[in-house]
């Protein structure tokens, strides 16, 4: 396998290892198609992360292909593929990342007594042997090999010393200490990292990495404590998405280090802070996982001031109630950026400033949609444009498209709707009646398209604040045991719902369902 020299960071530089596309994508309901994963990977490169964990190649052919495509495309960042400590997984991961400029194999095995007894049914000696053999096997494919001791924070510390020692002897270049079940505390994690740093022979040759889950709401605090103790890689996800309560939030760690770095030994990251909010939005809109309004840094209310006394202070001096500048983290989204008289050239140049590149045909369509939006909405913001273009590109990939629709609601009886859907050159027509206009329109779509399914999830949110905001709808449907997502955008939530539903049906029609990740003993469990 050919690759660039492993990256040697400066002493206070923390490596940002983004696992949005692997651990994050394991959030219930967060399923991404291969194209969506590439879009997120591009955004992560622009964000300036150091390592992109692109997936778990042995999990499914879809996961393998997605990792391979990301590896082939990404320049600058390392691309990692996850593998259990067995030859099959490691070979699969190696093949998936081999085209990367900087490939990494990330292999893991559990080390806690609970996992050894109940899950792996292996003795400590067997685990030690496996670690030595499999890390060495992985080194046969790549110079950059990360080893993770799953459930490290519930493992015996002396056993961990032996395991990590064996991993280093076998050639691991990064040692990851996961808090797999979100159990540790900042003081305990600090002590564990210090224990490993003083006891594991050869640890100074490796990067110590931390990976936390947020089950007790301490993932960010634990990660930062470990950085203060000397860890130099943080494993994080955008918006903190991930299994159960999620992983450590990338944006929280980055901004804590940028704002209070001296509290953590002066550690810094290479992340482009202005890309935090746009990347957060992209991940939220593609995964359908809404960002809670009070989420630090990227939540809609993170920089809003409601109380009169706060507003008064803010008007006198922003520093009274703001410790960060919203524009530093990419919140230009709340500013007016364009009006309907801006013209096509102004429109193109604004999209360019937002990092959005479109070909001429796409630009023409986007411009038409922008003019319609500008007629309905007073202030068209960066957030609106990002959502509009994202929706357009997604819809272009769909086989089923909304052509026209109609819904009516009266006081006597159910709502009724009719719809015309385009599939290639064909017009599919349907009528429906239901409990409200959204229900009626989805029934009309069912009548037109005829793809049986169950609607499992429906969520609507506003792209920006205000009564004329665009509504973004996310739906999840289930058909024959598989799950399909769809998103839709419009100033009218009935139309946004129809677009979202058609996107999900298009995915169903093409078989673009969620990847199902095999666990050690079953075919359906997922890794944390």
Q: Which residues bind ligand KIV (CB under 6 A)?
A: 23, 108, 148, 150, 176, 178, 180, 211, 213, 527-528
**Residue number, 153 or 173, with CB nearest to Zn ion:** 153
Minimal distance, residue 232 CB to ligand KIV, in Å: 17
Minimal distance, residue 36 CB to ligand KIV, in Å: 21
* CA 261, chain centre distance (Å): 25
State the DSSP string of 214-246.
-TTS-HHHHHHHHHHTT--EEEEBGGG--STT-
Minimal distance, residue 23 CB to ligand KIV, in Å: 5
Minimal distance, residue 507 CB to ligand KIV, in Å: 26
**Residue number, 174 or 418, with CB nearest to ligand KIV:** 174
* CA 133, chain centre distance (Å): 32
- Rounded Cα gap, residues 215 and 325, in angstroms: 29
Minimal distance, residue 43 CB to ligand KIV, in Å: 21
From ligand KIV, Zn ion, none, interface partner of 470 (C-beta below 5 to 8 A by class): none
* CA 375, chain centre distance (Å): 33
**Residue number, 300 or 517, with CB nearest to ligand KIV:** 517
**Residue number, 84 or 377, with CB nearest to ligand KIV:** 84
Minimal distance, residue 40 CB to ligand KIV, in Å: 18
Minimal distance, residue 63 CB to Zn ion, in Å: 16
**Residue number, 148 or 249, with CB nearest to ligand KIV:** 148
Q: How far, in Å, are 400, 401, 403, 422 from residue 425 at the CA level?
A: 10, 11, 12, 7
State the DSSP string of 60-114.
-HHHHHHHHHHHHH--SSEEEEEEESSHHHHHHHHHHHTTSSSEEEEEEEE-SHH
Q: How far apart are the first and last CA of the chain?
A: 29
* 348's tokens: 């193109």
Neighbours of 401 (CB within 10 A): 16
From Zn ion, ligand KIV, none, interface partner of 108 (C-beta below 5 to 8 A by class): ligand KIV
**Residue number, 266 or 519, with CB nearest to ligand KIV:** 519
From Zn ion, ligand KIV, none, interface partner of 416 (C-beta below 5 to 8 A by class): none
Q: Which residue has the tokens 């190696």?
A: 94
**Residue number, 219 or 297, with CB nearest to ligand KIV:** 219
From ligand KIV, Zn ion, none, interface partner of 150 (C-beta below 5 to 8 A by class): ligand KIV
* 190's tokens: 């600090």
Q: List interacting residues with Zn ion (CB under 5 A).
A: 23, 528
Any idea what DSSP says for residue 116?
A: I
């Amino acid at each position: 396998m050919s690759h660039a020299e492993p990256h040697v960071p400066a002493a206070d530089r923390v490596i940002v290892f983004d696992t949005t596309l692997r651990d994050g994508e394991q959030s219930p309901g967060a399923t991404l198609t291969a194209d969506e994963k590439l879009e997120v990977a591009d955004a992560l490169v622009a964000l300036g992360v150091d390592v992109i964990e692109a997936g778990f190649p042995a999990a499914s052919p879809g996961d393998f292909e997605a990792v391979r495509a990301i590896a082939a495309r990404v320049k600058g960042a390392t691309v990692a593929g996850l593998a259990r400590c067995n030859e099959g997984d490691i070979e699969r991961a190696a093949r998936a990342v081999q085209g990367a400029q900087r490939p990494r194999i990330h292999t893991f095995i559990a080390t806690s007594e609970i996992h050894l007894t109940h899950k792996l049914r292996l003795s400590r000696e067997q685990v030690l042997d496996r670690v030595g053999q499999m890390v060495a096997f992985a080194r046969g494919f790549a110079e950059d090999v990360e080893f993770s001791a799953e459930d490290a924070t519930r493992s015996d510390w002396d056993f961990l010393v032996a395991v990590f020692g064996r991993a280093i002897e076998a050639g691991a270049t990064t040692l990851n200490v996961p808090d797999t079940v979100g159990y540790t505390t900042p003081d305990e994690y600090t002590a564990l990292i210090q224990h490993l740093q003083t006891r594991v022979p050869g640890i100074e040759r490796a990067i110590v990495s931390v990976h936390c889950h947020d089950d007790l709401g301490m993932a960010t605090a634990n990660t930062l404590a470990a950085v203060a103790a000397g860890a130099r890689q943080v494993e994080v996800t955008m918006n903190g998405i991930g299994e159960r309560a999620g992983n450590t939030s990338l944006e929280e760690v980055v901004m804590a280090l940028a704002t209070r770095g001296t509290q953590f030994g002066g550690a810094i990251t290479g992340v482009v802070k202005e890309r935090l909010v746009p990347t957060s939005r992209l991940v939220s809109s593609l995964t359908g996982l809404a960002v809670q309004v009070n989420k630090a840094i990227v939540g809609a209310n993170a920089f809003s001031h409601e109380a009169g006394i706060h507003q008064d202070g803010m008007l006198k001096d922003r520093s009274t109630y703001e410790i960060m500048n919203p524009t530093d983290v990419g919140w230009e989204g709340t500013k007016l950026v364009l009006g309907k008289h801006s013209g096509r050239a102004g429109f193109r140049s604004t999209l360019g400033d937002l990092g959005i590149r479109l070909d001429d045909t796409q630009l023409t369509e986007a411009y038409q949609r922008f003019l319609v939006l500008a007629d309905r909405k007073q202030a068209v913001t960066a957030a609106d444009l990002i959502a509009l273009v994202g929706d357009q590109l997604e819809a272009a990939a769909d086989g089923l498209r909304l052509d026209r629709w109609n819904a009516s609601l009266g006081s006597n009886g159910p709502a009724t709707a009719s719809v015309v859907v385009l599939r290639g050159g064909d017009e599919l027509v349907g009528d429906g009646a239901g409990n409200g206009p959204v229900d009626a329109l989805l029934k009309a779509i069912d009548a037109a398209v005829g793809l049986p399914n169950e609607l499992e999830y429906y969520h609507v949110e506003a792209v920006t604040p205000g009564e004329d905001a665009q509504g973004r709808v996310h739906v999840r449907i289930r058909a024959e045991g598989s799950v399909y997502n769809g998103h839709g955008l419009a100033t009218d939530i009935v139309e946004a719902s129809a677009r979202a539903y058609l996107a999900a049906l298009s995915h169903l029609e093409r078989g673009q369902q969620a990847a199902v990740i095999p666990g050690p003993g079953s075919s359906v469990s997922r890794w944390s």
